[in-house]
Chains A and B, each alone.
Chain A
Amino acid sequence: GESVGLHLPTLSVQEGDNSIINCAYSNSASDYFIWYKQESGKGPQFIIDIRSNMDKRQGQRVTVLLNKTVKHLSLQIAATQPGDSAVYFCAESSGYSTLTFGKGTMLLVSP
């Protein structure tokens, strides 16, 4: 499949701030998007997903926004905590094709 990329390799925020992690995708046929959090030494942990028939989905402290016009996906984390420090990956697929992962953004939260 086509590749998924991230704009910022590292994002540094203060505890309590809101964080926004961005992701661009190139496959206009992509219809399923997912965000993962990966801590050092662990496997990716599912955060939230969204399908192309939606443009916004909210979870606990997280919101995913999808802009199909410009092929852009973002993950917003409210009131960021030190425990949110990790690498965040977006991934996409179309139909029943396999997930394609981006390179990842490291989020660093300072107390």
Chain B
Amino acid sequence: EAGVAQSPRYKIIEKRQSVAFWCNPISGHATLYWYQQILGQGPKLLIQFQNNGVVDDSQLPKDRFSAERLKGVDSTLKIQPAKLEDSAVYLCASSLERNQPQHFGDGTRLSIL
């Protein structure tokens, strides 16, 4: 089966600019997750969707980050405005249902200048 698709693979922007990432989960997976992974650390959950509804966004910096999954399939994550500390890899994952193994895409590496 096709895995989780993410684009772009790399993005370089200046601070205070905006950026968007796209994710297409594995077909049929109801649950979609966005993680932030800072170099040398484990992934940290930003937001979790169940179909097109938000289940957990408690760790999402809502003043600058937003995410949507309007039709319950693909999803976008946006940062506006970006800060230097947002430099990280943004990973998308999906699972068949909650509390099932999550399968990850290869992420978008974001560098803020």
- Residues of chain A touching chain B, judged by Cβ–Cβ distance below 8 Å, are 32, 34, 36, 41-46, 49, 89, 91, 93, 95-96, 98-99, 101-104
Contact = CB atoms under 8 A, between A and B. Distances in A.
B16 interface: no
Given A43-B4, A43-B107, A44-B104, A96 B42 contact: no
B56 A98 contact: yes
Interface footprint category on B: 20 to 34
Contact of B45 (A34, A42, A98): A98
Give the 3 A-B CB pairs with smallest separation, nearest first: A101-B42, A43-B104, A43-B106
A96 B101 contact: no
A104 B41 CA distance: 7
26 contacts: A32-B99, A34-B101, A34-B102, A41-B106, A42-B106, A42-B107, A43-B4, A43-B93, A43-B104, A43-B106, A44-B91, A44-B104, A45-B104, A89-B42, A91-B42, A95-B99, A96-B98, A98-B48, A98-B56, A99-B45, A101-B42, A102-B42, A103-B41, A104-B40, A104-B41, A104-B42
B72 interface: no
Contact of B44 (A46, A93, A101, A104): A101
Nearest to B45: A98
Nearest to A43: B104
Looking at B41, B44, B99, B105, the one whose CB has the most chain A CB atoms below 10 A away is: B99
A99 B44 CA distance: 9
A43 B105 contact: yes
B43 interface: yes
Contact of A93 (B41, B99, B105, B106): B99
Given A43-B105, A98-B56, 19 more contacts: A34-B101, A36-B104, A41-B106, A42-B106, A42-B107, A43-B91, A43-B93, A43-B104, A44-B104, A46-B101, A49-B101, A89-B42, A89-B43, A91-B42, A98-B33, A98-B48, A101-B43, A101-B44, A103-B42
B62 to A, nearest CB: 17
B78 interface: no
A46 B103 contact: yes
